[in-house]
Amino acid sequence: MALSEQVEISLRDAQENLRNALAFAARNEKPFVSKHIADMLANIENLVDAIDIVEKLENRRDGDSGLFGTYFDKPEED
């Protein structure tokens, strides 16, 4: 199931706030603070992107290669 609109909007808002925090941290805090804020930003982005991939995999019909090419094709038996 894809992320609900409300959850995705909240995650995007969190990213915006973290970007602001990162800008301030880059000027005033120790580097490890900026690194961890950047990690949080990346984790949110990865979560939103991964949900789309998981959705495609869950809705895949047997035998359908879809956008994944031959990755899911069963090997031919000799």
- Mean pLDDT of successive 10-residue stretches along the chain, which has 78 residues: 87 96 96 97 92 79 64 63
Phi, psi of 74 (to 5 degrees): -75, 140
Residue whose token pair is 């895949």: 60
pLDDT for 66 equals 61
pLDDT for 35 equals 97
Position 19, amino acid: R
